[in-house]
Amino acid sequence: MSMDAQPRFLKTEKRFFTFGEKGKGLVLESGAHFGPVTLAYETLGTLNKDKSNAVLICHALTGDSHVAGYYGEYEKKPGWWDTMVGPGKGIDTDRYFVICSNILGGCMGSSGPSSINPETGEPYALDFPLVTIGDMVNAQKKLVEFLGIERLHSVIGGSLGGMQALAWCYHYPDHVRSAVALATTLRHSALAIAFNEVARQAIVRDPNWDKGYYYSGEKPSMGLSVARMIGHITYLSDESMHQKFGRRLQGKDAFSFDFDTDFQVESYLRYQGAKFVDRFDANSLLYITKAADYFDLSRYADYQSALATLKKAATKFLVVSYTSDWLYPTYQSRDIVKVLKRNGLDVSFCEIEADCGHDAFLLPSDNLSGMITGFLSGLHGKGRG
């Protein structure tokens, strides 16, 4: 097929999977029972005959199921990892069947605090139970089973998505052939928890938050905007902010000598905060950041037995960190590698030189793309998934 004959865009669609309609949903790590559960998801590529080429991609904190391609010809922007996922790309949809679902507790089609509680006909709000990364993974496992897949070729994720990839290996070691953990950690540091708490406080102290029951009135837009501004700072680096903004003024030649926007970086953060309010739910941010703070695989009593099962299953790992990531710095990725190697697991590790901070894994990178391509291909030699 000539280049002119190829479609201009990779088309995909959001789908929905619901289970536990009769109350037989999930038993959460908190002990609560929750159902029905709905997950929004997207698939790209074709599942092969023996269903061995499935790759699950787990999104980061405020991502969604729309990982790549376009929902329609007139959609302005593709999915959030379109630079990595697609025909001939790092995660090649001509070779792999790619799955991505919106996490439990989210607000992009999966069950979360903004979803309608079937018992009341109103949004759950804070009646939605607190969930963990493990709960998110348990819901994803139901989706994978629904798709008829016994063992995933790989689970791949960055940041919060990396935590999910690691949790998959803990909860379902016999069902994961490999995992790619990008810019992530085994557990949140006090610094990461502190930033999340400040973001949560910005939301709950907004007068419109109304203890979470704001859906019929004004949203806590100011609190959510500030929370996003705080989070966005942690995704960047000193060098990237210096290169992008420095101390340049915003549309003026002198200081205003008031509390208006003087600097370009101030304008940028306000823009990011305002844009976020239009697409995300404040309560979901509370729930997801709390789940991230709770994450700590070593606290499970059967942690060592899971590692032993992974060794027996010959599960392979690729762990990647970035030099300028100060949210989850390289030493935390090295901690993951140490734990896995100490238990005899096959682990590859790379620290990538990058000056753009934590978000580097989301940006176009031939280095990362080639690394993931080689890692996935190496799992089955020269054969096709």
Domain ranges of the chain: 3-187+297-378, 193-288
Give the architecture (CATH level 2) of 3-187+297-378: 3-Layer(aba) Sandwich (3.40)
Is 325 assigned a catalytic role? yes
Q: How many C-beta atoms surround the C-beta of residue 254 within 10 A?
A: 7
Contact 35, 142 (CB under 8 A): no
Is 159 assigned a catalytic role? yes
Candidate list 114, 159, 321, 365, residue with the active-site label: 159
**Under CATH, which number does the domain 193-288 receive?**
1.10.1740.110
Contact 85, 23 (CB under 8 A): no
Residues making up the chain, counted from first to last? 385
**What pTM did the predictor assign?**
0.94
Candidate list 64, 358, 359, 365, residue with the active-site label: 358
Candidate list 325, 333, 359, 365, residue with the active-site label: 325
Pairing of strands 33-34, 26-27: antiparallel
Q: Which residue has the tokens 């020269």?
A: 382
Structure confidence by residue, pLDDT tens digits, 282-336: 999 999 999 999 999 888 777 788 889 889 889 999 999 999 999 999 999 999 9
Percent of the chain with pLDDT over 90: 86
Q: Is the peptide bond before 207 cis (omega within 30 degrees of 0)?
A: no
Q: How confident is the model at residue 36 (pLDDT cuts 50, 70, 90)?
A: very high
Average pLDDT, the chain: 93
Q: How confident is the model at residue 4 (pLDDT cuts 50, 70, 90)?
A: very low
